[in-house]
Structure 1
Amino acid sequence: MQATTKLIHSIPVDELTGAIAVPIYQTSTFEQEAPGVNKGFDYSRSNNPTRKTLENLVAELEHGEFGLAFASGLAAIDAVVKLLESGDEIVAVDDIYGGAFRLFEKVYKKFGINVTYVDTTKVEEVFNAITPKTKLIWLETPTNPTLKISDITAIAKLAKQQNILLCVDNTFATPVLQNPLDLGADIVVHSATKYLGGHSDVIAGVVVTKTKELGEQIKFYQNACGNILGPFDSFLLIRGIETLHLRVKEHSRNALAVATFLESHPAVDKVFYPGLKSHPQHELAAAQQKAFGGVVSFTLKNDTEEAAAAFVTSTSLFKLAESLGGVKSLLCHPAQMTHKSIPADKRRANGVNDSLIRLSVGLEDANDLINDLKQTFETLENQNSKLKNQKTAA
């Protein structure tokens, strides 16, 4: 059975009513037959039928044994880090999402959990960073926002040799394009706000584990700390996932067209997209993923925050906003938005230059999106020409 068919029919019909759509069990508590005797649900923080359906669905999508849904992507990351103890260490990708960096550095560092950031595209750097205290390797692949690709299989083998957990943030690739658990990872996380939801209308996070035992450990923290996803948001996420395969394929097709256009434009310095043959890990991405996703980043030859700010406030179809993965195309300036919490010198060292712009390529017609970018470049070029002429005349 093909993955699209399997996904659609893995969403169960409601046994009680025959409802095709998953019901929203908007209840805080459940009647018990006797103290401690129930139908599998007693309190919605601990378990809820709508959320449980979602958790089973994401586990199946990622080929895992246990799925858990959280109130945000950061809540999902937080639950994974709670597996560690004071004195443990994490080896993490250097080009890391700003929110994860903030969580590691501003929250968990003061509890004695230290993080070493390395270029995970080089397996030897991961190996060299490991110490006897290393308990977790943290990957994003592709990374946010420079789209670096790490070899999950090679790093998984290294992690297993050292008895270290490997967690992969699979938000950008989605389960449609990449399944890290099949490649040897122990845990997968998603900001489900992005492609899993797909419509910019829900904040959510998910964790999927390779083993039931590991899932039950994270389940304990989900229940004990209470960062759960509510039933209505769980319903929205299920509804979004129903069209995931179709959306991701079109996102990828549009993104490749946009990246190809940008690579040929004279005002662009570098384009970051693993689907381009110029990408340093293009061959690895082609082997590890089924397609290349919907995010494209690029830097301008005028490498200033001012130039980037002018660009991101001049587009028409691309809307300036945080987040990504929705039906509508978005763009952002990471230096001033998503990665502002990372010190400027560290951010630049990891390739997030002052002029870097991240595009979340949506489901509009690709030619319309390219024309929007083309017109933006032309408008800014004309404005700059006028300013130069005015200065010359003065």
Structure 2
Amino acid sequence: MPSLRAMNALHPTLFLVLALTAVIALPGCGAMQRHYEAGLILADIRAGEADSRWKRTRPAPERETVEYTGPTGVPRVADLYTPGDEVRSNLVLVHGFTEAGRRDPRLVQFAKTLSRAGFRVLAPEVETLTRMDVSPENIRDVVDAAHWLDARDDGEGVGVAAMSFSVATAVLAALEEDGRPHIGWIVGVGGYYDLVETLTYVTTGYFTEDGERRYQIPRVEGRWVVLLTQLDRVPDADDRRLLDRIARERLADPEAETGPLAERLSPPGRAVYALLTNRDPDRVPDLLAALPDGVRDEIKALNLANRDLSRLQAYLLLVHGRDDDVIPWTQSQALKQAAPRGQAELRLVTGLTHVDVDPGVVGAWRLLRAVNRLLLLRDDPPPTPSSANEP
């Protein structure tokens, strides 16, 4: 049991959560230890690079750069974080949209936090994500990483942790014939199921809950980030340059006047711009139909709503913020419902704005339960069916 002095060093909200945890978890020592670890992990995530009890009491992991090829034969590079003590599980950690890629300071700190918990963490460099480009190619990045990491151990399967738009990539990787035997479970934070509905929310703020249309103010930067992810699929080079300039000017200043730039776009470029500046949810289907073929094909390829998830064998631990202003929480709910029965769980959290954490007491308690479930997956992962048992 932690000392009262040690617990008081934590954030006040987490102190209360840990105090409740200590009472609730008394019947099982292993469960109590996981709950306590979960609280220290949350406090360490909140601390970032600053000192924390987690850093002081757990040996620092070793990081090395590794190069490998997976089933595709494509050369890959990644950072491998090895715990300073026992390796208890293997985890592929996928970075998001960041020019720093696997060396983004936030990802590095998160990887170290997880490695201190006994995870051997592989953080692959996903080149397309470093240039704000989400692509079906990312599926192979995840498959190759899982294949390589699983081969280092006993072949019992690995976990994959992904955030935001990369959650769908992880699920699609687990559906791949050569990914299915290696990906045992997925932790997805702030992901989507139906990409069309997600784009409707990003651009208009409207989403569907229990069959009713609802509105929530979306993050203004969201639409322009989405534009940057699709630039490579716009056929005309001049359009790509103009749209890139529009997106970056609006990201720097949401009130920037970009109308004159938009007037210089060709019809395909103008179709992309029309979707991203639209505010009417009823127009979205027609605007999507008018997009260039490459952009439409990309949306179709990355849309989980088009896939048969009954073949999914990886267990899903989904975490989503009720206050998410980029992807509505109903998307993770829809993903849970589409997964095979009993194979997914959803933890809804207040104070989690997309992937930024600032919970109150209730939110911290729910986050702690989500981290506790991650630690349970570490200690008792679901079995990964062998290829011989695959349908």
Q: Provide the TM-score with structure 2 as the length reference.
A: 0.28
TM-score by length of 1: 0.28
